[in-house]
Amino acid sequence: MSELFKVEAVGSEKYTLGEGPCYDPRYKRLSWVDIVGRKLLFLKDGKKESVDLPQQVGAAIPLAGSDGFALAMEDGIYLYKDGKIDLFLDLKNVFKDYWRSNDAKADAKGRLWFGASVGDDDHEAEGNLYLYNNGKLDIKVADTKISNGMAWSADKKKFFFSDSLKYAVFVYDYDEESGSISGGKVLFIVQDGVPDGLTIDSEDNLWVAFWGGSRIEKRSGETGELLKSIPIPAKQVTSCCFGDDDMKTLYITTAATGLEGEFDGCLFKMRTDVEGVTPDYCLV
């Protein structure tokens, strides 16, 4: 039997809100976060480790030039280096007091893209998608509902972005030199579940996680056409990334929030037939 697309849990540990997986080939290290559990997690050489954090954390982006991370947290961007956590970018006067950072990615120029989203159930979903570059913070997409998955095409001319509670993945024209985006349009609309985190493969196709949808979808980055739907034995599928030496293993995070299924909240992996794209690293 083919091992392709055979989904298996990576251990039995469950995470309240697993998110933001990222495989760093420099260190052969998979990292991800548990937003609500306030943890930064690692998998390296088959061994899992975790770091307790002082706030909820939306994403951990590997740093250029070190094995540390930029942490997108409740009130700012923090740097985790050499076992220490220090505030880098204070967002207390940028975020509303009930916002927190959500998904984040670095682009090929080392700039940091991150979303702000509502961190509780008492307010309507709202926020913005931000870009931090060399001391300057800009809003790139205003009035988002829940900023989530981000990716860039191989030629760096397209930017993909999922706004979860608009139930759509969008595509923008992208200028790599300036970091500007324009001409945003819907790539595809979601009918079942909520589009969450996503990644892109070497053929410019998107792999999208579906919160409430128990699946990963492979979608054409050109047309949005559904190419493959892969069932995941957990309801809240949150994000995914490619990893391992050949970058053909898809790692998948899920959330156990309010659920008691056998695999809800587990980390999963599956072998695929395509290479993923290595991550970009944050220059701060």
User: Which entry of 75, 103, 196, 264 is annotated as an active-site residue?
Assistant: 196
Is the residue at 3 inside a domain? no
Nearest Cα residue to 269 out of 246, 240, 245, 237: 240
pLDDT at 1: 41
Position 216 scores a pLDDT of: 98
Closest CA to 48 of 89, 8, 17, 15: 15
- What pLDDT does 6 receive? 97
Residue with tokens 């298996």: 8
Domain extent, residue 209, equals 8-271
- Is 196 one of the annotated active-site residues of the chain? yes
H, E, C per residue of the chain? CCCECCCEECCCCCCCEEEEEEEECCCCEEEEEECCCCEEEEEECCEEEEEECCCCEEEEEEECCCCCEEEEECCEEEEEECCEEEEEEECCCCCCCCEEEEEEEECCCCCEEEEEEECCCCCCCCCCEEEEECCEEEEEECCCCCEEEEEECCCCCEEEEEEHHHCEEEEEEEECCCCEEEEEEEEEECCCCEEEEEEEECCCEEEEEEECCCEEEEEECCCCCEEEEEECCCCEEEEEEEECCCCCEEEEEEECCCCCCCCCCCCEEEECCCCECCCCCECC
Measure Cα distances from 73 to 21, 38, 95, 278 in Å.
Answer: 16, 9, 11, 24
Overall domain count for the chain: 1
Amino acid 118: pLDDT: 82
Residue 81 lies in a domain: yes
Has residue 79 been placed in a domain? yes
Tell me if 171 is assigned to some domain. yes
Residue 211 belongs to domain with CATH number: 2.120.10.30
Is position 277 within any domain? no
| pTM of the predicted protein model | 0.96
- Would residue 2 count as lying in a domain? no
For the chain, 284 residues long, give each residue's pLDDT as a single digit of tens: 468 999 999 999 999 999 999 999 999 999 999 999 999 999 999 999 999 999 999 999 999 999 999 999 999 999 999 999 999 999 999 998 888 899 999 999 999 999 998 877 777 888 999 999 999 999 999 999 999 999 999 999 999 999 999 999 999 999 999 999 999 999 999 999 999 999 999 999 999 999 999 999 999 999 999 999 999 999 999 999 999 999 999 999 999 999 999 999 999 999 999 999 999 999 98
Per-residue model confidence (pLDDT) at position 3: 85
Task: Measure the CA–CA gap between 208 and 200, rounded to whole angstroms.
Answer: 9
What pLDDT score does 2 carry?
63
Which residues contact residue 265 at a Cβ distance below 8 angstroms, ignoring those fewer than 6 apart?
A: 14, 15, 16, 18, 234, 254, 255, 256, 257, 259
Instruction: Give me the pLDDT at residue 117, please.
Output: 87
Residue with tokens 């699946």: 215
Q: Is residue 119 part of a domain?
A: yes
